Structure 1
Amino acid sequence: MATRKVLQVTDDFDGTVLSSYETVHFGIGDTTYEFDTTPQRAAAFHTDLLTYLEVSRPVHHSHATPPKTTRVPAAGSGPTSTEQKRAIRDWARTNGFRVSDRGCIPGDIVEAFEAAHNSAGH
């Protein structure tokens, strides 16, 4: 007696048995996903991603977990006093930047503020 095993792959979208299929792999964040579907649906998925791929850059992961890092501003690189932070926020809003009322002031805003005030003094 012979034994015959048959593998049936079903479309993860609609449950139909597929005679031809593709397994699509993709990742978001730290999670990798996959689904089985028709070649046509796989092609449509890839076409939909093209908009994002055109503006993205590849990231090559090593097998080792990268060390966790914390950004520490260089000495003298950021506003120190409450008054200085308030002045930067006021200047930023007046000059069309969006800045929150609290928290860190983005570096590009601080740099623009410093550039505007350094060039005004020279």
Structure 2
Amino acid sequence: MQSMPEKHLFEYAVIRVVPRVEREEFLNVGVILYCSAQGFLQTMFMLDENRLRAFSGDLDILELDERLRAFERICAGRAKGGTIGQLPIASRFRWLTATRSTIVQTSSVHPGLCTNAGETLARLFAQLVQ
């Protein structure tokens, strides 16, 4: 009898671009996923320039890209992630998903179970962003 793969708790949040915070409109552009048991913290994002320009014509796409790349660097940790990148993995996830009133925000954190965090990140990205 073949055993079922072990399921691990993961947490994720959707990364959103909020051009005008006061209007509370947003466009999903990425996902960040953390799985403690697998030592996994990664983000996937995509900036569709046409959709973003239709949404708000005055967005600085290069600045948005840099902010999202900072998410990647913090997820990767080490010196290139700056001061926050030096924190333990759980602390980095909590910092990245903290509530903020800026053009790049995250949804609330949602839990789930997975066997492979990387595959789960790709599936959530396809469902929620693409």
- Normalised to the residue count of structure 2, the TM-score between the two structures is 0.20
Bigger relative CO (Cα 8 Å, ≥ 6 apart):
2
Larger Rg: 1
Q: Write 1 or 2 for the structure with the bigger share of helix.
A: 2
